[in-house]
Structure 1
Amino acid sequence: MTEIEAQALRLPDGQRAVLAAHLLDSLPAVLHDDDGGIAEAMLRDAELDRDPSAGMTLEEFKAAFDR
């Protein structure tokens, strides 16, 4: 597996992305909600209604994502 990983890391970015997508698509769904995540989204929305400071701005999200 280590050798396969080393070979994959030598691929150009585009080919690595395609390979990663294929590998992820080959895995069974780890998180599967019967409602497609609607209940979770509604819970999070209600949390933000109760406490808006629990959320983050788009700029905060981008900064956290860049880290």
Structure 2
Amino acid sequence: MSVIAEVEKLAFSLPENERAKLAERLWESLPEDFIDEAEIEEALRRDREMDEDPSKVITLEQLDTLIANRPRRK
């Protein structure tokens, strides 16, 4: 088992509040430029858009079908 898989297994065995603390500490350990503010803003915009018009939301299965049926580039 890889180190990451072992750490993940241990992390998921922690109580929820300890997992949250660990996630926060890991997030804070990343360099500041790791966080792309433009991507965060885009995600928040899309979230607002889905809240405003739930008819735009598709399921994961619908997305998978769209991807599988898209025209292939040559």
TM-score, with structure 2 as normaliser: 0.44
- Higher share of residues assigned helix: 2
TM-score, with structure 1 as normaliser: 0.47
